[in-house]
Structure 1
């Protein structure tokens, strides 16, 4: 049950925007691999890019329980947009939670979507082992000089600001800081976008920092304490990716069910054959279970209770469900599911990345297992 009538109105608005602004554009943007910057700006002006942040900062002060349902609706229409909203929301977290007064003055434009964010933690040799990152920031007077390479950065080349996690101290997690870096900083060099199997409209790219000079006043939080900021941001980010997975999986269930009710073989709709009907029933049950796990974690966060392990469980389960359900949707459609005339082949390709981003599902299992055995 949604907390307020306002929340119901927000979900209705999101559904309307998804139908009017997104549904007719997704296939074209994905086919061309074009980043939908103007679409995101429209979402920002509609209030959908700052939902879980306080109104005083330019947000909408919505609980995470509502925010993740917004993402689910968006993902059911266009995963690339939902993932972009999730990443942008993640990118606003360091400044919102730890920024100076001067940095926080940027929040209205961040949360309103006029400034798009990117979160630069991963590196070519340090994805899952983020504490081993090697990008270094050396203090010179009132600036940091930053050198290194970031990898798989969503919005790289399109973002207006970057959270750059870099080494300012010794080895390990205790030597990492977070810098807020403008896109026009000299020496900040986005590379050619990666060519992806799916989610092509949101293709990530490497980000080279070649002696980029960043004012020391752009340090977010305390020097050498940036790793804690990164991990707190990812706890919430995992809820966002889980919501994307639930939305994608629900779309696949709905489409496969509709197809099975229309497609006839041996004189009756294939949905009436037990082999197909049971498959659809399992798909629907798995999506409902994933949604319940997601909402449980979101409610814990809203209540101010520990939620990081439940977020890991939600991300793990929901993204595995999305992969299985989209695979089964292709199977329900048979040969038709393997051609681009139907969206299930795209959803199948897109589902895979959700098992990788915001911490691979192997990392989620490690996090959960450690919490049980420590």
Structure 2
């Protein structure tokens, strides 16, 4: 395995870093509140950073999502790339790809994902969907939603006829909503293996996002402890602070390398479900430790709801919940290994 980015992946990562860095300012995030930043998403699409993912692969997407996580940029980038671009590219028919991909790439089609399957949606013979999904991240920004039914078949439904959206607030400002389907028309997407592939892709991608969130939280903590003095010395000179930061750094690197590994296996066309679950476990378990450390090392400032590090804390905890608690992920991973999958 070689995790060294290709020239194209490195260029895309650097471009994403500049766009996120320039446009995801503290002031813009405060102005967005619990909503998203549509102008930032338009800038990402205009720069080709959605469409490029088809060529950059999942490892390329993980690199880009790290940059989003560092800034906690409030855009449906991960959702659209995973549940839209990669899902349609891998499992759509030629007609579906021709019809949907141009809109996904230019940002006129935004896709949210009702994942993982929650057993509440049924599809009739004609493909109309009925049921409820309690919460779907980024649904308020979406034009389409990728839904898994009770049989774990995938359906891509436009948000319109037969769909209802009720806003829901999560720990992080992810523009989430409750989805109600009442005979909603939808396109069937992919075969019997499509659900497992999209789920593993999502776990890997959101683990990469968590790596960026943790890296951003730790960078802020390092900067704070290097400048904040106590008893005439910077906090960073204290051994307890150094050890806590070192543990957080190792946790962040574990999240990053397991996400890279899972992405590499998918891009190589190899089975990667266990690798995706490993990445998800590290992102869930280690991620919440890192964002707690980032907040703790800021002292009282870390408890300020307006402080930038608090956003990393909220994102880290939301990703922990979205990926599944560590015990649940570990149980699923153990079952896969036991069955030799």
For normalisation by structure 1, the TM-score amounts to 0.83
Query: Which of 316, 319, 338 lines up with 2:284 in the alignment?
Result: 319
Q: Which residue of 2 aligns with 1:348?
A: 313
- Contact (CA 8 Å) 1:253, 1:325: kept in 2 or not? yes
1:188 deviates by 1.1
Distance, in Å, in 1 between the alignment partners of 2:93 and 2:254 is 41
Larger Rg: 1
Structure 1 partner of 2:175: 203
* C-alpha spacing 1:281/1:47, structure 2 compared with 1 (3 Å): same
Partner of 2:124: 138
Give 1:269 deviation, angstroms: 0.7
Q: Who is 1:43 aligned against?
A: 44
Change (3 A) 1:356 1:26: farther
CA distance in 2, matches of 1:29, 1:316: 33
CA distance in 1, matches of 2:7, 2:87: 30
Q: State yes or no: 1:154 paired with 2:137.
A: yes
Could you tell me how far apart the structure 1 residues matched to 2:256 and 2:284 are? Answer: 11
- The answer as to 2:206 corresponding to 1:241 is yes
Alignment gaps of 5+ in structure 2: none
TM-score (norm 2): 0.90
Q: Distance in 2 between matches of 1:330 and 1:213?
A: 45
Q: Is the 8 A contact 2:16 2:64 kept in 1?
A: yes
Q: Does 1:163 find its partner at 2:146?
A: yes
In 2 relative to 1, CA 251–115 (structure 1 residues): closer, same or farther, beyond 3 Å? Answer: same
Q: Can you give the 5+ residue segments of structure 1 that lack an aligned partner in the other structure?
A: 54-60, 168-172
Partner of 1:194: 168
Q: Where does residue 308 of structure 1 map in the other structure?
A: 273
Aligned to 1:110: 104
For residue 243 of structure 1, report the CA deviation from its aligned partner: 0.8
Closer, same or farther: CA 134–356 of 1 in aligned 2, 3 Å:
same
Distance of aligned partners of 1:255 and 1:7 in 2 relative to their CA distance in 1, 3 Å threshold: same
2:21 to 19, 22, 26: 19
Paired with 1:239 and 1:119, the residues of 2 have a C-alpha distance of 15
Structure 2 residue 243 is the aligned partner of structure 1 residue 278: yes
Are 1:72 and 2:103 counterparts? no
Aligned to 1:57: none
Segment of structure 1 superposing worse, 257-266 or 84-93: 84-93
CA distance in structure 2 between the aligned counterparts of 1:276 and 1:246, rounded to whole angstroms: 21
Q: Alignment RMSD, CA only?
A: 2.1
